[in-house]
A and B are shown apart, each in its own frame.
Chain A
């Protein structure tokens, strides 16, 4: 009461008016006002009040997801005020203001000025309603252009979408088509494109694959420089270190012995951490190592948080580049030999039978540094996965066997990228590059079905935009530019698959889900190839096209003889078109993790199940709570979305399996990633693999991993023909005591002596705690 008497009436009235203007169902403006009153300071001005109202609404999302929309609208209103105060009303005003501050490319600003009326006419702020709070918050904090000194926002969300669309287009019509998709959150380019489209340095690519340094000092230092430059402009780096000699190898110049790869990777670690991507996020890199490299065991310890800090790299990600021969020896429980690349330099550039032959010959010639049981190394790999989530399993032979760039003298795939979805050839003077974008499948569901016609259209628009990005792209290193212009690879992916399954009531492990997921992948590939062939007809095939398998008539699905395309006639027509015109792009499809853009779009990440029905997102802009909207809708239908249910879900870490009286159908539908059989995730990935010509960032989940289960799982993934896998996600061994769940509701579990004894004596086989 004292609060309202001292509060400047105009400020609170304004806020009340704003809250009531967005009168959304299931939200209570007066409740927000009460929270604001309680949290405000005596001298609160309008900006502080709006800020508190946004926080208050955001804090209620876990209780009522409708507050996410309200918080988003308050935030959008604040951005509108902030731009209006600077005289920015139209799109062209925003571009002019940002250009005047030196943030934009002159040609881009000129194009916008020349077509100001047509472009301004495209903007529709009503599309702001598509945002949930978390997405708009991320966009506002990190993506919208800001004044270099005042840090005031220079564009509204719809201005932002149109800027990116225009930055990727040659004509107003192209910009309009792309803007329509993006403003409805139906297609989103990846973060570097969102950051840099229309900007001074239009570095639009997400991924760079840098070939292993040659086994010499100058080459190693040259790689640090390249990686730092690539990292500075928001790219993630994949780099191999397999050509560099192992520990104990003779250094002829000094007659000393090498310390192996670890000290070099320490330097890389420090270098990556030092590069800040335009102040927006830290650099990130993944180092790949061939499984035969003699330093592989030390490599697997790089992320341990115990042991000698001088041999640890906390910023790098790690991945194993595994040949089939290794997996066969694991299966056969045979020995495995480790080599110094200085002694056997040919192994790095070989794959398939040629690799197998050379590897066995080197063994027979006694050139191995050391031999150990293959299963002992495999167990070490599994342990690293369990302990750090890192040490991703990627399969060299599957990657090369199916890559369109490999085959007719094109080259060799030596490793993948930071997120294991890109597979492109590299060499000492070619850094592979990929520009990514993802289609939000959730935005393509109409009347309980996937709208394949619209999906195909979105794919064509996306391929056009991704292809134009190649010509606009500014490359931080010459090695990157060279490769990109020759191969013109694209990485078109999808996100929101879990939302589609939920909307269509398909459990992740059902046969119908598998069929639909595969059909989606097939339609995306068909439309993408068709669009690329059309571009080839109009603008010419990419320069290295003659080196590709496609030039020899082999398309990616052909590597999967068991694949059963649902539209053989469309594939036949496509083959004819490709034979006539070639392809504008050597590769087209890659399923990236989409962490940030999925949160902007408010959909589930790529092809992944939900990790929990209730989870928080930690980002640079703070922490936010998300609730599965599908679950809330179902519970509301049952009249069960109430405080006790919410507490029960929270106590169960976002699981609904122990909720009383929940129909089995709903329990099956709302299983989390931890509760689904991982075999189903691998089967889904394997079934879509024929239509993904690069790869997929496939996370796997094991709440309490054991070596036995992990080794079975990854061997299965390899046998299923997956090219790559990504993180192994596990859960904390202990957890924070919940502060906001009534503690008297937490039943004190009576000590069950038999279970305790069992897990003590035989921790690995006891199922009680798994």
Chain B
């Protein structure tokens, strides 16, 4: 029987080996959104209200967003698509690639709106080279992209482990930690009634990223079921080291963003939050926690609860795309 990481270009959808991946693909399509639906109008006057410290935080944040999704997309194309060998999984990855592109478009639009000055925009996009706290995070990602850059077939056990580490890195550290850290700043701002346009778009990005992460973890689960021996204590050690590095990089970013601290947001709380999130990623991988921190941000609780939007005020993001069936007059409802 062939396994998910066996090399090749499997084209057979029936019988389907991994229907779960196909279901994830379908669910993702139902959640299509477009950048035009996000209303950034109220953000511009909000920007003028920010204190210098808050403005610094927002500018750094959008500078990170400007390049983050492109990096994820690159890894998807260069590595994931190549090695996850099931057509239904590649359907999902194709969809994910589209979503990353929409996110890039969203943050591009955001930057163009937030930074009317041409020079500032250019600087923001160059942040990945000039701003150390952002550069360090990017370099962390590039290192993991390159770690399997020369692999074209996963022949050996070592190859497969290297691939899994790349996959876990992008799920647990990049999407699951760097992005989650960035989202927390957005929701902190929103909890103070600021930048609701950014928060609305981020809600949708967040929803997408959650699904990307879950997909990657379900690939990990599948490989683990197929090849349990790949998951040994060496792997665990490597994952823990990787997460430690990611937390450190994100914490350096937090120090840059928060400076001396802002009302309701500071480096100490952010550290606890990142540790809490990192523990959640470890738990998802079936590993014991590394930090034992509790979530310090009550505003993140809001994120877990369904929204009820007054249409006078915001667009409702909850509607589904794609619905099936034919007219009937006697179904139960």
Interface residues of A (CB under 8 A from B): 38-42, 44, 48, 51-52, 55-56, 58-60, 62, 141, 236, 281-282, 284, 305-306, 309, 314, 317, 330-331, 375, 378-379, 382-383, 386-389, 595-596, 611-612, 614-625, 650, 653-654, 677-679, 702, 704-713, 715-716, 729-744, 748, 751, 756-757, 759-760, 763-764
Q: Which residues of A contact B314 (CB under 8 A)?
A: 618-619
Asked if A650 and B305 make an inter-chain contact with CB atoms under 8 angstroms apart, the answer reads yes
Asked if B295 and A734 make an inter-chain contact with CB atoms under 8 angstroms apart, the answer reads no
- B206 CB contact (under 8 Å) in A305, A704, A736: A736
A507 to B156, CA, bound (A): 62
A120 to chain B, nearest CB (A): 32
B324 located at the interface, meaning its Cβ lies under 8 Å from any Cβ of chain A in the complex: yes
Q: Which residues of B contact A282 (CB under 8 A)?
A: 312-313
- A306 CB contact (under 8 Å) in B210, B284, B299, B321: B321
A666 to chain B, nearest CB (A): 21
Closest to A236 in B: B312
A748 to B31, CA, bound (A): 23
* Contacts A738-B304, A743-B280 supplied; 12 other A-B pairs, CB < 8 Å: A39-B269, A41-B261, A41-B266, A48-B263, A282-B312, A305-B37, A330-B327, A618-B308, A619-B310, A712-B329, A713-B333, A733-B31
| 10 nearest A-B residue pairs (beta carbon) | A59-B298, A733-B30, A707-B325, A737-B210, A706-B325, A386-B323, A708-B328, A622-B193, A595-B310, A713-B333
B218 to chain A, nearest CB (A): 9
Q: Is the interface of B mostly helix, strand, loop or mixed?
A: loop
Asked if A39 and B319 make an inter-chain contact with CB atoms under 8 angstroms apart, the answer reads no
Closest to A314 in B: B37
B190 located at the interface, meaning its Cβ lies under 8 Å from any Cβ of chain A in the complex: yes
B34 located at the interface, meaning its Cβ lies under 8 Å from any Cβ of chain A in the complex: yes
Q: Which residues of A contact B305 (CB under 8 A)?
A: 62, 612, 614-616, 625, 650, 653-654
B330 located at the interface, meaning its Cβ lies under 8 Å from any Cβ of chain A in the complex: yes
B215 to chain A, nearest CB (A): 10
Asked if B36 and A314 make an inter-chain contact with CB atoms under 8 angstroms apart, the answer reads yes
Asked if A702 and B333 make an inter-chain contact with CB atoms under 8 angstroms apart, the answer reads yes
A281 to chain B, nearest CB (A): 5
Q: What range describes how many residues of B lie at the interface?
A: 35 or more
Q: Which residues of B contact A732 (CB under 8 A)?
A: 31, 207, 317-320
Q: A730-B319, A734-B28, A737-B210 are in contact. Are A616 and B302 (CB under 8 A)?
A: yes
A207 to chain B, nearest CB (A): 12
Among B198-250, those with CB < 8 Å from A are: 199, 203, 206-207, 210-211, 213-214, 221
- B308 CB contact (under 8 Å) in A62, A616, A620, A707: A616
B4 to chain A, nearest CB (A): 14
Asked if B283 and A763 make an inter-chain contact with CB atoms under 8 angstroms apart, the answer reads no
Closest to A58 in B: B298
Q: A39-B269, A707-B327 are in contact. Are A734 and B31 (CB under 8 A)?
A: yes
Asked if B36 and A737 make an inter-chain contact with CB atoms under 8 angstroms apart, the answer reads no
Q: Which residues of B contact A596 (CB under 8 A)?
A: 310, 312
A-B contact number at CB 8 A: 250
A335 to B53, CA, bound (A): 65
Q: Which residues of B contact A739 (CB under 8 A)?
A: 180, 277, 280, 295, 300, 303-304
A530 to B244, CA, bound (A): 73
Closest to A43 in B: B260
Asked if B193 and A712 make an inter-chain contact with CB atoms under 8 angstroms apart, the answer reads no
B332 to chain A, nearest CB (A): 8
Q: A330-B327, A677-B333, A739-B277 are in contact. Are A619 and B266 (CB under 8 A)?
A: no
Selecting from B14-22, B59-67, B69-77, B110-118, the interface stretch reads B14-22
Asked if A387 and B321 make an inter-chain contact with CB atoms under 8 angstroms apart, the answer reads yes
Asked if A56 and B37 make an inter-chain contact with CB atoms under 8 angstroms apart, the answer reads no
Closest to A379 in B: B327
- A62 CB contact (under 8 Å) in B301, B310, B332: B301
- A748 CB contact (under 8 Å) in B42, B221, B263, B321: B221
A599 to chain B, nearest CB (A): 8
A44 to B261, CA, bound (A): 11
Q: A305-B32, A732-B318, A736-B304 are in contact. Are A383 and B323 (CB under 8 A)?
A: yes
A375 to B27, CA, bound (A): 27
Q: Which residues of B contact A731 (CB under 8 A)?
A: 306, 318, 320
Q: A39-B269, A52-B264 are in contact. Are A712 and B331 (CB under 8 A)?
A: yes
B122 to chain A, nearest CB (A): 28
Asked if B333 and A712 make an inter-chain contact with CB atoms under 8 angstroms apart, the answer reads yes
B85 located at the interface, meaning its Cβ lies under 8 Å from any Cβ of chain A in the complex: no
Asked if B333 and A678 make an inter-chain contact with CB atoms under 8 angstroms apart, the answer reads yes
- Can you pick out 6 interface pairs between chain A and chain B where the beta carbons lie within 8 Å of each other? A612-B306, A622-B190, A622-B194, A707-B323, A708-B327, A732-B320
Asked if A38 and B296 make an inter-chain contact with CB atoms under 8 angstroms apart, the answer reads yes
B155 located at the interface, meaning its Cβ lies under 8 Å from any Cβ of chain A in the complex: no
A581 to B330, CA, bound (A): 48
B67 to chain A, nearest CB (A): 23
Encode B257-271 as 1/0 by CB contact (under 8 A) with A: 000111111101100
B2 located at the interface, meaning its Cβ lies under 8 Å from any Cβ of chain A in the complex: no
Q: A44-B263, A614-B305, A734-B31 are in contact. Are A309 and B36 (CB under 8 A)?
A: yes
Q: Which residues of B contact A620 (CB under 8 A)?
A: 42, 193, 196, 313
B130 located at the interface, meaning its Cβ lies under 8 Å from any Cβ of chain A in the complex: no
For B194, B264, B318, B332, which residue has the most chain A Cβ atoms within 10 angstroms?
B264
Q: Which residues of A contact B328 (CB under 8 A)?
A: 707-709, 711-712
Asked if B324 and A757 make an inter-chain contact with CB atoms under 8 angstroms apart, the answer reads no
Asked if B298 and A387 make an inter-chain contact with CB atoms under 8 angstroms apart, the answer reads no
B192 located at the interface, meaning its Cβ lies under 8 Å from any Cβ of chain A in the complex: yes
Q: A305-B33, A387-B319, A618-B314 are in contact. Are A734 and B27 (CB under 8 A)?
A: yes
Q: Which residues of B contact A624 (CB under 8 A)?
A: 302
A679 to B298, CA, bound (A): 38
For A59, A618, A731, A756, which residue has the most chain B Cβ atoms within 10 angstroms?
A618
A389 to B319, CA, bound (A): 7
Asked if A616 and B30 make an inter-chain contact with CB atoms under 8 angstroms apart, the answer reads no
Q: Which residues of B contact A48 (CB under 8 A)?
A: 263
- B263 CB contact (under 8 Å) in A39, A236, A331, A386: A39
A715 to B283, CA, bound (A): 49
A323 to B303, CA, bound (A): 43
A282 to B196, CA, bound (A): 14
Q: Which residues of A contact B266 (CB under 8 A)?
A: 39, 41
A625 to chain B, nearest CB (A): 6
A733 to B211, CA, bound (A): 11
B296 to chain A, nearest CB (A): 7
B10 located at the interface, meaning its Cβ lies under 8 Å from any Cβ of chain A in the complex: no
For A58, A60, A305, which residue has the most chain B Cβ atoms within 10 angstroms?
A305
Q: Which residues of A contact B311 (CB under 8 A)?
A: 284, 317
Q: Which residues of B contact A617 (CB under 8 A)?
A: 308
Asked if B318 and A625 make an inter-chain contact with CB atoms under 8 angstroms apart, the answer reads no
A644 to chain B, nearest CB (A): 15
Q: A702-B333, A735-B207 are in contact. Are A41 and B260 (CB under 8 A)?
A: yes
Q: Which residues of A contact B329 (CB under 8 A)?
A: 330-331, 711-712, 715
